[in-house]
Structure 1
Amino acid sequence: MTDTAEKIDYSKTLYLPETEFPMRAGLPQKEPEMVARWQSMGLYKQLRASAAGREKFVLHDGPPYANGNIHIGHALNKILKDVITRSFQMRGYDSNYVPGWDCHGLPIEWKIEEKYREKGKNKDEVPVNEFRQECREFAAGWIKVQSEEFKRLGIEGDFDNPYTTMNFHSEARIAGELLKIAKSGQLYRGSKPIMWSVVERTALAEAEVEYQDYESDMIWVKFPVVEGPEAFAGAFVVIWTTTPWTIPGNRAIAFSSRYGYGLYEVTAAENDFGPQPGEKLIFARRLAEECAAKAKVTLNLVREIEGTELGAILCAHPLASLGYDFKVPLLDGDHVTDDAGTGFVHTAPSHGREDFDAWMANARALDARGISTKIPFTVDDAGFYTADAPGFGPESEGGAARVIDDKGKKGDANDRVIKALIAAGNLFARGRLKHTYPHSWRSKKPVIFRNTPQWFVYMDKVLADGTTLRSRALKAIDDTRFVPAAGQNRLRAMIESRPDWVLSRQRAWGVPICVFVDEKGEILQDEAVNARILEAFEKEGADAWFTEGAKERFLGNGHDHEKWTQVRDILDVWFDSGSTHSFTLEDRPDLKWPADVYLEGSDQHRGWFHSSLLESAATRGRAPYDAVITHGFTMDEKGEKMSKSKGNVVSPQEVMKDAGADILRLWVMTTDYWDDQRLGKAILQTNIDAYRKLRNTVRWMLGTLAHDKGEEIAYADMPQLEKLMLHRLSQLDQLVRESYDAFDFKRITRALIDFSNVELSAFYFDIRKDALYCDAPSSLRRRAALAAIRKIFDCLVTWLSPMLPFTMEEAWLSRNPAAVSVHLEQFPVIPAEWRNDALEAKWEKVREVRKVVTGALEIERKDKRIGSSLEAAPVVHIADAELLAALEGQDFEEICITSGISIVSGEGPADAFRLPEVAGVSVEPKLAEGVKCARSWRITTDVGTDPAYPDVSARDAAALRELGVLPA
């Protein structure tokens, strides 16, 4: 090495990357600091100010329940919402996110009751508003906790002014929505079988029920035929049921005229209590042998029966001797099947919706036949039989039997009914069946169907405009965009088949059904009374309904206080959340009605999407949303449901503690969130690895742009390679915007990560590093590359900032220290001239040839014939004319990162390197000739041609001279 070389430290003459943006992210420590910064600087308010006057985009938040720490489902849900609102904010909208909370209802009430029980207190002995205040305080405490947890996830929204269903204004508006429905004649008090939780002493909506495995008693019961065609005299109709306790409620038997039945005689029997030889029994022919096997009998077909013959039969109740002295008709029903049971369906209108519907559909005809259509109340709210169940009620020997006890355990009702059937000689067979059965999602205990007076909203009553609530809701579904599209059919099927909407709950914590009724069940319609109620709720909250003297206060002097009864039931919490659009979207000037988007888990087709649709359709004739997005549920890595007992729960708190919120957000962005997703250590590690590569790309750009002076280069003056990168930005801009509109975040992350890893790090940056590090300050190639990287950085960081808000904020502020926040920026506007499909087509051919060269050099490296590609000067043979033309005018040695390259037309020698997928290209590896430049490490023949810099190439010598690095 010369004396000159010894006196110049060439590394200090290179434009090597310089940045304080660390390779190690340190997200668990850095993210909370950033959250604190955003709060102290009032980022939310700055976002609102910056968006003033823009078109609004509103995603209305489905309220989580305020009763515990957030779980991974909350994290998935809120991250998706945050990405949507941020992406629209950065695309020219005023996209305001207002978080909300569901505060009323049983889970909170249950927690306060548990606290009372621990202290030996009885909830019913505490003044109701004192109890309600404790519920309110409990919810408020969890709202604070969840708010901080959501903010830690990077969620940006109006956490200082969220909506809550227990806010006084909210309670007034919920009550007002109910009164609108009452005024329109859609609200009524009726008696129907509904799902009832004995444990919780309240009615349940379908959305509050989950199905679990349960083992039931099953019985086959004989109903003696007492009237009908002579051929059936002395015979028995046999039914099958998995709820023996409902037999006291039986009032009919359903059959289907679509099926063939048969009259059978027992010819042999091997049982202790079942049918004996000579008995005649009626079954669906398809099921007779299967039933016979259950009772261990042999049957002989006496005659075939057409279903149409059965309607003339009347049976006695199988427990007639206990006081069930009425006739049981046979009713033709579409719900009857012949794939299980006996072909006959035990019909207890007190205990099943289909049973009730079948009974009511035939009520007029039954009355005409002299059959009472009164529906009994056989089971009370505690699961005990009532006086409407003779032999099992409170007057019976041993007292009232019980279906389910306070702990959700099976009571003695089944056993007592089965024993009574045996004693009456009417039990055909018995057994056990494991099947799915409805359970309360809160207590996890079985529910029962029981007839009880409740408040309902009609689904099919014809309204003033000629529509029904059902028809309005179905039209609204047709007018709504669903993502994914399958959600539309799912919600439609639920609305098409749902019964009237049960609104009432027998609890204390919630908005009351604030109406007065007379003894006929007629609702008081008085605008002045309603106005007094709503004014009081606005000032005092719904507690006003439960204060002493409330009835007299609201009725005033214009009504007979003795005539009107104050309803004490509270509203189903789904009505609360279904009404949020009224006091959030309509009442806040920073939002709008209807919302652009509702987004929740797929279970909300029967929950929030459903109740919001019905409430809005009932009061406004349409849905409160234009689009509905659903996500699936998070499973463990094996696809199994997460549970504490399995030890496979992934908590967002632990992920953020170990890896950071941006890693969790990246996982959400890379999943097919429309379906169920999987999460565990291996999946998180995959996202950590992807994040690290992405971060390193951003870090390299920051380091390189440390030397950028912000010079703009005219597009026409850009080299082809830079134009190619700008073309790719144009394409990606379209993809990013379209995908954010389609809520397809995986497509964006996949495209941007691939762009970062494959097109930038492994291609463009790799090629341009030599020019960026070594070219002279005046080099157009270097200046154009810096301008292109600046634009790439701006695009990549802003496009990703809705998804990775912490990392992209850090990167943006590192590049722009005087900036306020990347989240106040807009996505860059891409000039139309950047789009150049012809150039892309040309460079696809260039890259095809490059791929062959790279493959050949990889073998040379592997076999240690070269150390790096700069030691090579391969000969490239090209027989394909189009490929050859594409290389014309290209600096192909720079593109291949070699010190030299020769391009020859033709097939090349037989032993040259080839890739089967690139026809017409072969490569002969050759070593570069010349001397290694001490500055750029390229091997060239012009090293030392500038005597002042004897150990560097001419290019590098010129750069040193321009940089003012003088020789010794």
Structure 2
Amino acid sequence: MCADKTTETPEYKDTLKLPQTDFPMRAGLPKREPAWLERWEKIGVYDRLREKEGRTPFTLHDGPPYANGHLHIGHALNKTIKDMIVRSHQMMGFDARYVPGWDCHGLPIEWKIEEKYRKKGKNKDNVPVVEFRQECRAFADEWVKIQREEFKRLGITGNWEDPYLTMNYHAEAVIADEFMKFLMNGTLYQGSKPVMWSPMEKTALAEAEVEYHDKESFTIYVKFKVSVDQSEFVIEPTSRGGDGVQMTPHMERLHDLTEDAYVVIWTTTPWTMPSNKAVVFGEDIAYGLYEVTGTPEECWLKVGEKYLLADNLAADVFKRARLAEDQYKRISDISVEELEKLELAHPLAGAEGSNGEWDDIRDFRAAPFVTDTEGTGFVHCAPSHGMEEFELYRDLGMLEQVITYNVMDDGGFRADLPFFGGKYILNRKGGEGDANKAVIDKLVEVGGLLARGKIKHSYPHSWRSKAPIIYRNTPQWFAGVDRKLDDGMGEMGDTIRERALRSIDELVKWTPQTGRNRLYSMIEARPDWVLSRQRAWGVPLTCFTKKGALPTDADFLLRNDEVNARIKAAFEENGADVWYEDGFKAKVLDGIADPEAYDQVFDVLDVWFDSGSTHAFVLRDREDGTEDGIADVYMEGTDQHRGWFHSSLLQACGTKGRAPYRNVVTHGFTLDEKGMKMSKSLGNTIVPEEVVKQYGADILRLWVAQVDYTADQRIGPEILKGTADSYRRLRNTMRFILGNLDGFTEEERMPYAQMTELEKLMLDGVAQLEDEVREGYAKFDFSGVFNKIFNFATINLSSMYFDIRKDVLYCDPVDSDLRRSCRTVLDILFHRLTTWLAPILVFTMEEIWLERFPGDDSSIHLQDFPEPQPEWKHPEMRARWQTLASVRRVVTGCLELERKEKTIGSSLEAHPKVFVTPEILEEINNPKRFADICITSQLELSTDPIPEGAFTLEDVPGVGVVFAKAEGEKCQRCWKILPDVGMFANVGVCGRCNDALG
């Protein structure tokens, strides 16, 4: 029966099943996130996850930050990546443990206390060492508390109630015990060699404690007087030569050629000249003898003087001495064999007041590290201040002849050094001291300079004091990386280096793989590990040396298991401070060795040994550690290839016989939006706290998930705005799902077999995506995971599936099979998306979860990823729907043109005629269903030839569309234009809506 068209159309809005949810579009994260943090703490989420039984342990071992300042953006990136690793593995079915830790010893903290002392005019050396150490401990403890809250605010999960601290008594005991293993296995030795030394901090530094900055340095070209070494070329005493020694004709020629001649060296460290002991040359370099034929005014060179120089560098050297090209000439070749017959005198030799300090003949020989690309072709050697020179003379067995001790621990020359005693390389603020100028002035005075100038170059600085460092020969304690280990753990090799290199290639996976190459090359080329520091705050080197013995003597070090056990027990009970108490030496040596016969070592361990030992007191010793003391993952920044990754590898190879990790994951540095390094002076720093206040921690976490952290990444205001926009789009998708699941029950769930094809297509996408999500999380590829989820949510779902199924969800009868299928898929999507995204958006996914499943004990973070459903995969259906999607794109393209021309306002006003090939028609099969997919009220399919003027797309051959308006009346409930509108009991509706109204 037809409805009376004169009857007023009722309001049907209230009959639609529109989305119902209290989930707001505006997140308000900065204000709301703290409440979720309190909730997780209250219900004990981390501890409850530990209670889940039968799970394979997965442990990410935390590289400890220093407890000495507020967090920077690098901290936020680092800890968020770690959190994503831990949370994702937990949700993939592991027992994912995370014990946060802090590095509490060492120079950064000690320096802060010294700064406080300096402000008060207090001298650290006048403070009892235990009192000073206690101040360092208190300082570190305070910053641990501050940083812990800042990390927690970022949503980082972990055992925050019981973190590890390197200054805890047990940790100090284990660090000492690990050191004593080096003592016992034969790798520990005391040696004297040039090490990186900070005069400001009066201590040796590790490579990881050094950073490089541009520095302006003095450059000098120094003259060494040449003479012929006659001692090996005597024929017999006759009338020629000194004391009647006769020379061969060749030697006579060389003698005449080199009269008034000089070898010239170039250096950027004039302060090392008083420690010069040799000059070296290259065996494969062409050298010539050059004579000065003219000089400009105010020149240090004299006509007739001769200079030995590398031919490739001679012109540059004379240019720096201000000679024109016509003021010097090359007079002879000088072969390497002839160079070997010469002797050199230091420019200060015989200087009045030198007290014979530099009168010895300088050693002069070939060396492999000399080149003719810079300088003069001759290299000045001060083996006390250069590693290459040190190694050269060490291998020659000549160290005793060439090592000096002219520079003290504060960078000043020894008081009794002629001319320079009491001069300093650096001033007390870390700037240029008076030593370089004093040396240069003296060389000018004695006629020892050819030229001087300045150069700007990259130079090592202490990363703490920011002052330049020097290389200084000083007695230090070393772990020999090539010494054979006497420990019975030789499966991976007999030395630390062998074990480390084999571990890198055989036991560890690297993300990215370039990390392997970087660390391998460092280990392959590194020297012995300098373990000692001349500081107060740290774990002491718990060993004793025999008085009167030499470091090379077999009994120099006291090696006794019982002594070691006593030391460890004392540290366990009272911490490392006991080492400094009066009578401690006598106590631990009682009944074992005569205390008066031994000296106690008071250097402290390199802090990298502390953090390198954490595998022992965290992974090995804790209940939430690992059975084998090996971590599944170490994850830090790329600078830790020379830092924590490096020291942990060396330390564990010395005490465990292998690497302490199975995976090493590395992130790059964080730069500003222009790719520049962040600095306060440039005003381009991004502070995590400020981002959290403005956007919320989830936006910062989302930024981490979007970047490729394996390379350097950028952040700034515009980038964060883009991140926030991505977040809003994702939040809108989740809001749609929530709203359309209102009232969903298990009774409504539609079995998979009875679902329509579009729903099965969505589940095929889910099945593919869940494989990619699990694989991505397992590989620590968070940007890959997020981008795949985001594209699926915003393109496959919001822009396609939701758009198509809005009509079914809003207008179909509540119990229609199609609506039930759609709501079942939405429920599946809800569980997948919330769990998949929970490791990234920890606060937002909790909010979404609680919107559906409120309760005092409810939390998304207690859930696992749903189990994969491989039966949902249908490649054949996927391929067919790709065809449908291509045809749909042609239809929507045609309708978009009509919308722009304002022919129609909505696609529901259209009745397009779609021309396709018979093969495509077979794929589409159902015009009504395809009309729903194209969101048109009606649609016609035809295999007729595509008419002229039809809309086509070049990349979709065989498809054309001719526009036509839909015929019929507009349904007042679903807004489709259909011929049957108005033919039912309910006024102004189509047949489908009439059935829905009942």
TM-score (norm 2): 0.93
Q: Is the partner of 1:96 in helix, strand or coil?
A: strand
Distance, in Å, in 2 between the alignment partners of 1:683 and 1:312 is: 67
Structure 2 residue aligned with 1:708: 744
Note if contact 1:382-1:405 (Cα within 8 Å) is conserved in structure 2. Answer: no
Alignment of 1:482-561 (within 5 A): 482-518=510-546, 519=548, 520-521=550-551, 522-561=556-595
Structure 1 residue aligned with 2:434: 412
Tell me by how many angstroms 1:387 deviates. 5.7
Structure 2 residue aligned with 1:471: 498
Note if contact 1:944-1:953 (Cα within 8 Å) is conserved in structure 2. Answer: yes
Q: Deviations over 1:714-748 (max 9, x none)?
A: 22211110111000011101111111122111111
Distance, in Å, in 2 between the alignment partners of 1:863 and 1:257 is: 83
Structure 2 residue aligned with 1:777: 814
Tell me by how many angstroms 1:188 deviates. 1.0
Structure 1 residue aligned with 2:395: 361
Q: Is the partner of 2:340 in helix, strand or coil?
A: helix
**1:623 maps to which of 659, 662, 668:** 659
Note if contact 1:584-1:591 (Cα within 8 Å) is conserved in structure 2. Answer: yes
**1:667 maps to which of 703, 706, 710:** 703
Q: Deviations over 1:822-866 (max 9, x none)?
A: 111111112221011111100000000000100111111111111
Structure 2 residue aligned with 1:301: 330
Tell me by how many angstroms 1:881 deviates. 3.6
Q: Deviations over 1:40-84 (max 9, x none)?
A: 11111111112x331111111000100111110000000000000
Q: Does 1:855 align with 2:896?
A: no
Q: Does 1:40 align with 2:42?
A: yes
Distance, in Å, in 1 between the alignment partners of 2:767 and 2:944 is: 36
Distance, in Å, in 2 between the alignment partners of 1:3 and 1:44 is: 65
Tell me by how many angstroms 1:421 deviates. 1.5
Note if contact 1:5-1:951 (Cα within 8 Å) is conserved in structure 2. Answer: no
Q: Deviations over 1:439-458 (max 9, x none)?
A: 11111111111111111111
Structure 2 residue aligned with 1:245: 271
Q: Deviations over 1:639-684 (max 9, x none)?
A: 1111112111111101110101110011011111111111111000
Q: Does 1:319 align with 2:355?
A: no
Matched to 2:702, the amino acid is L
Tell me by how many angstroms 1:510 deviates. 0.6
Note if contact 2:9-2:987 (Cα within 8 Å) is conserved in structure 1. Answer: no
Note if contact 2:299-2:322 (Cα within 8 Å) is conserved in structure 1. Answer: no
Distance, in Å, in 2 between the alignment partners of 1:307 and 1:473 is: 41
> What is the CA RMSD across the aligned residues, in angstroms?
1.7
Note if contact 1:186-1:457 (Cα within 8 Å) is conserved in structure 2. Answer: yes
Structure 2 residue aligned with 1:825: 863
Distance, in Å, in 2 between the alignment partners of 1:475 and 1:270 is: 62
Distance, in Å, in 1 between the alignment partners of 2:648 and 2:340 is: 43
Q: Deviations over 1:444-474 (max 9, x none)?
A: 1111111111111112223345722222221
Q: Deviations over 1:286-337 (max 9, x none)?
A: 1111111111233322222333543343311221122212121223222212
Note if contact 1:213-1:435 (Cα within 8 Å) is conserved in structure 2. Answer: yes
Q: Is the partner of 1:278 in helix, strand or coil?
A: coil
Distance, in Å, in 1 between the alignment partners of 2:16 and 2:341 is: 102
Distance, in Å, in 2 between the alignment partners of 1:810 and 1:151 is: 18
Structure 2 residue aligned with 1:187: 188
Higher mean C-alpha displacement, 110-119 vs 340-349: 110-119
Q: Is the partner of 2:476 in helix, strand or coil?
A: strand
Alignment of 1:714-863 (within 5 A): 714-818=751-855, 820-863=858-901
Note if contact 2:968-2:977 (Cα within 8 Å) is conserved in structure 1. Answer: yes
Tell me by how many angstroms 1:2 deviates. 7.1
Higher mean C-alpha displacement, 414-423 vs 284-293: 414-423
Distance, in Å, in 2 between the alignment partners of 1:121 and 1:3 is: 99
Distance, in Å, in 2 between the alignment partners of 1:377 and 1:841 is: 79
Q: Deviations over 1:224-283 (max 9, x none)?
A: 123345515432211100000001111111221122111222222225352212112111
Distance, in Å, in 1 between the alignment partners of 2:726 and 2:918 is: 39
**1:451 maps to which of 473, 477, 480:** 473
Distance, in Å, in 2 between the alignment partners of 1:830 and 1:409 is: 64
Note if contact 1:257-1:306 (Cα within 8 Å) is conserved in structure 2. Answer: no
Structure 2 residue aligned with 1:397: none
Tell me by how many angstroms 1:388 deviates. 7.4
Q: Does 1:877 align with 2:918?
A: no
**1:601 maps to which of 637, 640, 650:** 637
Distance, in Å, in 1 between the alignment partners of 2:485 and 2:756 is: 70
Note if contact 1:669-1:803 (Cα within 8 Å) is conserved in structure 2. Answer: yes
Distance, in Å, in 1 between the alignment partners of 2:205 and 2:6 is: 89
Structure 1 residue aligned with 2:308: 282
Note if contact 1:616-1:624 (Cα within 8 Å) is conserved in structure 2. Answer: yes
Decide whether aligned partners of structure 1 residues 359 and 388 sit closer, same or farther in structure 2, where only a CA change above 3 A counts: farther
Q: Deviations over 1:375-431 (max 9, x none)?
A: 1111001111126743322xxxxxx22111221121111111112212222211111
Higher mean C-alpha displacement, 426-435 vs 683-692: 426-435
Distance, in Å, in 1 between the alignment partners of 2:268 and 2:23 is: 67
Distance, in Å, in 1 between the alignment partners of 2:174 and 2:604 is: 15
Note if contact 1:257-1:308 (Cα within 8 Å) is conserved in structure 2. Answer: no
Distance, in Å, in 1 between the alignment partners of 2:583 and 2:730 is: 66
Distance, in Å, in 1 between the alignment partners of 2:625 and 2:979 is: 69
Higher mean C-alpha displacement, 420-429 vs 721-730: 420-429
Structure 1 residue aligned with 2:246: none
**1:329 maps to which of 363, 369, 379:** 363
> Is there any run of 5+ residues in structure 1 with no aligned partner, and where?
394-399, 962-968
Q: Is the partner of 2:783 in helix, strand or coil?
A: helix
Q: Does 1:575 align with 2:609?
A: yes
Distance, in Å, in 1 between the alignment partners of 2:328 and 2:90 is: 75
Structure 1 residue aligned with 2:456: 434
Tell me by how many angstroms 1:768 deviates. 0.7
Note if contact 1:96-1:157 (Cα within 8 Å) is conserved in structure 2. Answer: yes
Q: Deviations over 1:330-364 (max 9, x none)?
A: 2322221211001111111111111211121222x
Matched to 1:924, the amino acid is V
Distance, in Å, in 2 between the alignment partners of 1:836 and 1:309 is: 83
Distance, in Å, in 1 between the alignment partners of 2:872 and 2:711 is: 37
Note if contact 1:259-1:306 (Cα within 8 Å) is conserved in structure 2. Answer: no
Tell me by how many angstroms 1:139 deviates. 0.6
Note if contact 1:273-1:427 (Cα within 8 Å) is conserved in structure 2. Answer: no
Matched to 2:943, the amino acid is S
Higher mean C-alpha displacement, 843-852 vs 582-591: 582-591
Q: Does 1:24 align with 2:58?
A: no
Distance, in Å, in 2 between the alignment partners of 1:553 and 1:265 is: 72
Q: Is the partner of 2:595 in helix, strand or coil?
A: coil
Q: Deviations over 1:128-180 (max 9, x none)?
A: 11111111111111111111111110000000000010000000000001000
Structure 2 residue aligned with 1:170: 171
Note if contact 1:15-1:707 (Cα within 8 Å) is conserved in structure 2. Answer: no
Q: Is the partner of 2:373 in helix, strand or coil?
A: coil
> Is there any run of 5+ residues in structure 2 with no aligned partner, and where?
230-250
Alignment of 1:880-891 (within 5 A): 880-889=917-926, 891=929
Alignment of 1:108-187 (within 5 A): 108-187=109-188
Matched to 1:16, the amino acid is L
Distance, in Å, in 2 between the alignment partners of 1:478 and 1:823 is: 36
Decide whether aligned partners of structure 1 residues 2 and 10 sit closer, same or farther in structure 2, where only a CA change above 3 A counts: farther
Note if contact 1:217-1:433 (Cα within 8 Å) is conserved in structure 2. Answer: yes
Decide whether aligned partners of structure 1 residues 928 and 361 sit closer, same or farther in structure 2, where only a CA change above 3 A counts: same
Tell me by how many angstroms 1:6 deviates. 5.8
Q: Does 1:942 align with 2:975?
A: no
Q: What count of residue pairs does the alignment treat as equivalent?
A: 946
Decide whether aligned partners of structure 1 residues 722 and 559 sit closer, same or farther in structure 2, where only a CA change above 3 A counts: same
Q: Is the partner of 1:269 in helix, strand or coil?
A: coil
Tell me the percent identity: 53
Tell me by how many angstroms 1:3 deviates. 9.9
